[in-house]
Copies of this chain bind each other. A is one copy, B any other.
Amino acid sequence: MSLSEFALIDRFFAQRARQGPRRATLGIGDDCALIAPDPGESLAVSTDMLVEGRHFLPNVDPQALGHKTLAVNLSDLAAMGAKPRAFTLSLALETPREAWLEAFAEGLFALADRFDCELIGGDTTSGPLNLCVTIFGDVPAQAALRRDGARDGDDVWVSGTLGDARAGLGILRGEWPAERFDERERASLHHALERPEPRVALGLALRGLAHSALDVSDGLAGDLLHILERSRMRASIDVDAVPRSSAMSKLPIETQRQCTLAGGDDYELIFTAPRHVREAITDAGARVNVAVTRIGTISALRHATDEPSIAWHDASRSPLSLTLHGFDHFDAH
């Protein structure tokens, strides 16, 4: 690679950035970009670093990678109830290949344009493939969907279906035979893995309804625990109520449970909300065209010294002891 090649990449991204929406006072090309939240609002800020072999396979379709690189960050805004505004992109590349970059940018900017999210800065360097996005959204601080707001008696909800991405990864890795699924199912699981849809509209619709929320990146079991720990609460979850796609039924029940509860890479929202807004939440889901499902309840800790935890049970309310620890998921650091 040469310096001029990297200068070309910079120019390429800057050019694409200028074609998009303009929401920054000052964008690419200066020492800093300048942005400001809407009056009275705060900026929600999140950052994610994606590394080959950890977050995507070496032979991943670059267009899908462009999509996912931004999608996982948009998902963090969604989980906060924030409206996307802008992002920065830093990338390290061993050898810039024009076709690869073109496709990557295609996937990235298609999603950015769809969510009115402007590229305002970044950095390009030579090095082992690494993608780092920092994303910014607008939200009134008091309306933000935090992790520490779950309350005694809240319902626990989840959007979409869980486990599909992990099932798709299992096919790519040969953990279960691809032939178990028909072509449509394989495509759908693969799509879940490579093209997660950030639940931005749902996050916005949950402002004023949900007490707490986060997005599922490491798996329901681990991520729900983050809400419980920060809210000092416990949860009771009906494993059979956890929504899963029809394709998942082709896997053994144990594997289904591992995929849905600890598969990770789902980028669906888990949220808690009081009972009296059940109908409002169902309506919100319908309005933004995203399924929302109640899977359990939040309770206060019995003793102040108790550790926050999840009690799993099945549809008949029989307690389940699940072995989820050690089930590796793709996105684990």
Contacts and interface: CB of A to CB of B under 8 A. Distances in A.
A30 B90 contact: no
Interface string A27-61: 00111111111000111111111111111000000
A31 B127 contact: no
Interface string A1-42: 001001100000000000000000110011111111100011
A92 interface: yes
Nearest to A39: B39
Given A43-B35, A49-B132, A126 B54 contact: yes
A46 B29 contact: no
A210 to B, nearest CB: 13
A47 B146 contact: no
B51 A43 contact: no
B43 A36 contact: yes
A137 B32 contact: yes
A36 B123 CA distance: 24
If over half of A's interface residues share one DSSP class (helix, strand or loop), that class is named, otherwise mixed; here it is strand
Given A36-B41, A45-B88, A333-B3, A30 B146 contact: yes
A127 B275 CA distance: 44
Interface in A86-132: 86, 88, 90-92, 120-128, 130, 132
Given A121-B47, A124-B333, A333-B126, A88 B34 contact: no
B47 A88 contact: yes
